[in-house]
Amino acid sequence: MSAYELLVIGSGPAGIRAAASYAKAGGKSPIGIITADMDEPYMRPPLSKDSLVDGPPVEPTPIGPKVPKDAELRLSTHVTAIDLENRTVTAGGEQVGFGQLVIAAGATPVPFPEADADADIHLLRSLDDDRRLVAAAQRSKTAVVIGSGFIGCEAAASLARRGIDVTLVTPEPGPQQKRLGDYVSQQIASWLTDLGVDLHTETEVTHIDAPRTVHLSDGRTLAPDMILSAVGIKPLGGELAETAGLQTHEGRIVADEHLSAAPGVWVAGDSARGINVTAGRALDVEHWGDALQMGGLVGRNAAAASNGSGEEPESWKAVPGFFSDIGEHSIQYAAWGDGHESEKVVERTGGFTVWYTDADETVVGVLTYNADDDYERGSGLIAEGATLTEAVSGAQPQEVES
């Protein structure tokens, strides 16, 4: 039986950063990373952006933190069970021992529910999904994208930039209207329509017949050359964790403020539901930067635990945030992620900032477009619970959480 001092499940940003920061913090060797992914670690964000505009060939962008030199990376290998009592996992039919365990299993797209089993519908999460999507795009003149979340909007824009006639179908009144409010939704809608995307809002796809006949709730039927469904994701790792006796919530693994789910078991990224001490509650986040940040934290905490250094574990306190590129328009967003009561738009030269507030006019989110200085102070203002007046007046945060 092979055994590792640190075993990481997953080769996304959370897993790779965890291994890198564990090694940097002097955690004991050997380190093992077991991943279901078939490719060396790569960045996911370009998959709905440049690689859809330019490919083929689909050139993966290597992930930011490198796999530590002496770590063993096992590709195309699923962890199918975790045994906390014996401190082993089952992977590729083998028992693998661990001292510290990081579960960073990420998430997978939810398949489109109302479709014939053999309908030709693309999903996008992995590099391999992207290879298939790009191959389809090469053969296509028309596409239907279902869903107006970030992946749907980004992919629709990229396919349109590629010269494909894209129809985006969404039940929302406008792209991301529920999450980001009317103003940003209208901006995104105009960026998409400027690229030639045909937006069908307040419209549902009622059924897809094989191979590619799309029925809409307004009675119309579309027959595109390709279909991409981007209707949400489902966290992974929850079932494994539950069978091992760990607590889960809606598929995510529940963790404390140190992102620990059990002694010597750490979770990070899309599959985690940890306590964020600044928010004072559990948060679910699905963002690249947060996966990196959480991975770094659990790597350092696992290193301290493996060395028995007696160091206090770090707590998770950063305000979650993400970036998105819709065509050539880049936006950044930081927020607690559980909605807002009102929004205040501040026009900036060549851009704008939207401050989101709760019922007490406390800032709970910020979105910026060509206004990096507002974004930079925005996370700090959200963390300290600043008022809208302070945010709009240009006040600087007391302390910016990183």
Ligand X SMILES: Cc1cc2nc3c(=O)[nH]c(=O)nc-3n(C[C@H](O)[C@H](O)[C@H](O)COP(=O)(O)OP(=O)(O)OC[C@H]3O[C@@H](n4cnc5c(N)ncnc54)[C@H](O)[C@@H]3O)c2cc1C
| Footprint of ligand X (CB under 6 A) | 9-15, 34-37, 44-45, 47-48, 78-79, 104-107, 124-125, 151, 236-237, 269-271, 286-289, 291, 322-324
Q: Based on CB atoms, which residue is closest to ligand X, 74 or 317?
A: 74
How far apart are CB 349 and ligand X at their closest, in Å?
Answer: 24
User: First-to-last CA distance in the chain?
Assistant: 40
What are residue 3's DSSP bridge partners? 97
In the complex with ligand X, the residue whose CB is nearer, 216 or 282, is 282
**Rounded least distance, CB 24 to ligand X, Å:** 18
**In this structure, which amino acid lies at residue 247?**
Q
Q: What are phi and psi of 280, to 5 degrees?
A: 75, 25
| Smallest distance, ligand X to C-beta of residue 272, A | 7
Contact of 192 with 100, CB cutoff 8 Å: no
| Nearest distance, CB of residue 3 and ligand X, angstroms | 17
Q: Shortest distance, CB of residue 203 to ligand X, whole angstroms?
A: 23
Q: Are the C-beta atoms of residues 149 and 324 closer than 8 Å to each other?
A: no
Q: Cβ of residue 41: shortest distance to ligand X, in angstroms?
A: 8
User: In which element (H, E) is residue 94 found?
Assistant: strand 94-103
Smaller CB distance to ligand X: residue 187 or 324? Answer: 324
Please tell me whether the peptide bond between 57 and the residue prior to it is cis, using omega within 30 degrees of 0: yes
Identify which of residues 4 and 386 has a Cβ nearer to ligand X in the complex.
4
Distance CA 332, CA 371 (A): 9
Query: In this structure, which long-range contacts are made by residues 323-328, counting pairs with CB atoms below 8 Å and at least 24 apart in sequence?
Result: 323/45, 323/288, 323/289, 324/150, 324/153, 324/154, 325/49, 325/154, 326/153, 326/154, 326/157, 326/188, 326/191, 326/192, 327/157, 327/158, 327/160, 327/161, 327/191, 327/192, 327/194, 327/195
345 three-class SS: strand
Pick between residue 35 and residue 276 the one whose CB is nearest to ligand X: 35
Are the C-beta atoms of residues 169 and 145 closer than 8 Å to each other?
Answer: yes
* Smallest gap from residue 82 Cβ to ligand X (A): 9
In the bound state with ligand X, the residue whose beta carbon lies nearer, of 294 and 386, is: 294
**Three-class SS of residue 70?**
coil
Exposed / middle / buried, residue 93 (Cβ in 10 Å: 0-12, 13-18, 19+): exposed
Smallest gap from residue 137 Cβ to ligand X (A)? 14
